[in-house]
Amino acid sequence: MNEALVFLVGLAATMGVVLVALLYLKNPLQNILADLCGTTERARFWTAFSNITLFLVPLALALGHQPDASVKQAAIFEISGQMECAAIGFVVSIVVMGFILSTYISRGCSVRPAKGNDVR
């Protein structure tokens, strides 16, 4: 297999895995964002923004991992190296987004006592 084909197969496999992960995260992320943003329109915007970010970071890292023509390596190792770079980018993006969202999620109990029923 030539280097260009190995690169494209690795890129397609990598982004396929990222797309599956994004589909898995879409509803839970949108639910959290709807709660934090207050409206579904805002939540949809921030979900789209997050999905684009979570797609482009691994894509950029996968594009940066190009096969070295001077080193003859099996195609599977080249593809796995490309997937590894993208997975690291995806995980780092998820962790950063998780930290950002966690600062907006209240730490206290979400159930508030009704007025006049203050328990002391």
Q: Helices (DSSP H) in 1-120: which residue ranges?
A: 3-37, 40-64, 75-104
Q: Could you tell me the pTM of the whole model?
A: 0.73
Domain ranges in the chain? 3-103
pLDDT per residue rounded down to tens, the chain (120 residues): 687 888 888 889 999 999 999 999 999 999 989 888 888 898 899 999 999 999 999 999 888 887 776 777 788 888 888 889 899 999 999 999 988 888 887 754 454 555 655 554
Q: Cα angle at 12 between 61 and 44, to 5 degrees?
A: 75
